[in-house]
Chain A
Amino acid sequence: MATANMLMINPLAEAVPEQATEMPVEIALVKAVLEGDREGFGRLYDLYAPLVHGVLLARVPRMEVDDLVQDIFLHAFKKLHTLRDGSAFGPWIAMIARNRAVDYYRRSRETVEITDEMRGTDKQESKAAEILELIRGLPEAYRETLVLRLVEGMTGPEIAERTGLTAASVRVNLHRGMKLLREKLTLTEGV
C-alpha cells in the first residue's frame, strides 16, 4: 500500500480552483471586457493563447494553428456575453478550440501528410514534427494533455486549472499517454 500511487478520485478533495480566498482573475477580466475594456481581453488572450495553441496543435496541421488561434479568440470576443461564469473561461475557450478543430476537418477532408515544408530543414524541428504525429495518433484525451505538458510546458496542475479537468483525470491522462508514447517511440526507433 505504501508504494502504490493511489489515485482515489475523492469528490470532496478534487474540486474547482479555490474561490473562497481569492476571486479568479478571469471573472474580473470577463466583467471588464463586457463593460467595454478591450485591453482586458488582451490580457485573457495572453493568459490562454498557449492553451488554445496546444489544444489545436494536438489536432490540426501545424501550419494552420496560428491563424486558428486568432480566429478562436475573435470568436470568443464576440460571444463572451454567452459565458455565464467568468471563472470557466479556460474550459470554455478550450471547448471552442476543440469544436473549431472539428470544423476544420469537416470543411477540408483531404488527408494530411507530413510534407517537407512541415518538417522544416532543421533536424530538431523535423524530429519534433515526427514526435507530434506520434502524439496525434494517441487517444484524444491523452494527446491534448501531452501536448500541453510537453510542447507548451504546462505542469499537470496548470493543465487541470486551465482546462477544468480534475487533477486526477489529468494525471491519469499524462501517465497513460506517456506510456503509450514511449511504446510508440520504442517501435519507431527500431525501424
Chain B
Amino acid sequence: MNDDYLWNKSGEPDPQIQQLEEILGTLRYQPKPLKLPEELSTSRSRRNHFPWLAIAATVVMALLAGGLWLQTRNYDASIPAVAIAQPADPIIGPPLSASTDAPKRIKPRVTNYDRREALAAKQQLMFALRLASEKLNSAYRRTQDKRSSHENTLPN
C-alpha cells in the first residue's frame, strides 16, 4: 500500500481517505477570534537563574577564599553553584534575556550538530519508550482478560 497520499497528499489519491477527509472535514476547526482580557498580561520577568548564579558564585568564592569547607553540602536546587555543579537544564537556544554579568559555564554549549542529533535521539527514544509501554500495557490487559474469562468459565 502506497501511503504517499496519506502522508503528504501526493501521488494517487486513496478513495477511502478522500472520503474520510470529506466527512471528517466537517469537524475541522473554524477560526474564532481570541479574546485576551485587558487585565491579562504575560509576565515579563522571566525566571532567570543568572542573578542567583552570581550570588552563589560570590558566596562560594568567599568561602573558598576564607579556607572554609562545607562539611555537609546542602544545595538549594534553585541556586546551582557554578563552581561545583552544572546547571540542571542545558540551554538549547539563546536565552531571550541573557545577562552580560552571567558567570561562565564550565561546560561548553551543545553544538548545533550535537543538538540536532540529541533532539533526534530524544524523539526516537520517546517513540521506542511509547512502543514498549504500549506493548506492556497490551500484555497486561490481555492477561487480565484471559484471567477474568477463565474465572467466568469455572463451575460454581
User: A interface vs B, CB < 8 Å?
Assistant: 5, 9, 11-12, 14-16, 19-20, 27, 30-31, 33-36, 38, 41-42, 45-46, 49-50, 53-54, 57, 62, 66, 69-70, 73-74, 77-82, 84-87, 122, 124-125, 127-129, 131-132, 139, 141, 149-153, 155-157, 164-166, 169, 171-172, 174-175, 178, 181-182, 185
A166 contacts B120, C-beta separation under 8 Å:
yes
Given A149-B6, A155-B8, A31:B96 Cβ within 8 A:
yes
In contact, B96 and A34 (Cβ under 8 angstroms): yes
Query: In the bound complex, how far is the Cα of B75 from the Cα of A136, in angstroms?
Result: 46
How many Å lie between the Cα of A155 and that of B45 in the bound state?
Answer: 37
Tell me the count of chain B residues lying within 8 A, CB to CB, of chain A.
49
Check B9–A155 contact: CB distance below 8 A: yes
Q: Decide: A78 near B42, CB < 8 A? Known: A15-B120, A31-B96.
A: yes
Contacting pair A78 B26 (CB below 8 A): no
B31 engages A49 (CB within 8 Å): yes
Contacts A81-B45, A128-B23 hold; do A175 and B6 have CB atoms under 8 A apart? yes
- B67 lies within 8 A of chain A by Cβ: no
Q: Residue B108 at the A interface, CB < 8 A?
A: no
Q: Which chain A positions have C-beta within 8 A of B31? A: 46, 49
Having A12-B120, A15-B117, A169-B127, one finds 10 other A-B pairs with CB under 8 Å, namely A5-B3, A12-B117, A14-B123, A16-B116, A54-B29, A69-B32, A77-B36, A84-B93, A152-B29, A178-B6
Residues of B within 8 A of A62 (CB): 27
Please tell me if the beta carbons of A9 and B124 are within 8 angstroms of each other in the complex. Answer: yes
User: What is the bound-complex CA distance between A55 and B36, given in angstroms?
Assistant: 22
Contact A45 B34 (CB under 8 A): yes
Roughly how many angstroms separate A185 CA and B19 CA in the complex, as a whole number? Answer: 12
Q: Give the CA-CA distance A84 to B96 in the complex, in Å.
A: 8
Which parts of B24-77 form the interface with A (CB within 8 Å)? Answer: 24-29, 31-32, 34-37, 40-47
User: Roughly how many angstroms separate A29 CA and B26 CA in the complex, as a whole number?
Assistant: 31
A42 to B91, CA, bound (A): 27
Instruction: Tell me the chain B residues, 100-139 only, with Cβ under 8 Å from chain A.
Output: 112, 115-117, 119-121, 123-124, 127, 130, 134
B40:A16 contact, CB within 8 angstroms? no
Supposing A41-B36, A78-B40, A174-B7 touch, asked if A86 and B46 sit within 8 A by C-beta, the answer is no
Contact B34 A42 (CB under 8 A): yes
Most chain B beta-carbon contacts within 10 A, residue among A69, A151, A171, A175: A151
Say how far A129's CB is from chain B's closest CB, in angstroms.
Answer: 8
Q: Is the CB of A15 within 8 A of B119?
A: yes
A38 to B38, CA, bound (A): 10
- Residues on B with beta carbons closer than 8 Å to the beta carbon of A5: 2-3
Residue numbers in B under 8 Å from A45 (CB-CB): 34
Q: A153 is contacted by which of B28, B41, B115 (Cβ under 8 Å)? A: B28
Indicate whether B83 reaches chain A with its CB closer than 8 angstroms.
no
Question: B36 contacts A132, CB within 8 Å?
Answer: no
Q: A78-B42, A165-B123 are in contact. Are A171 and B34 (CB under 8 A)?
A: no
Is the C-beta of B16 less than 8 angstroms from some C-beta in chain A? yes
Shortest CB distance B153–A (Å) = 25
Chain B's nearest CB lies how many Å from the CB of A6?
A: 13
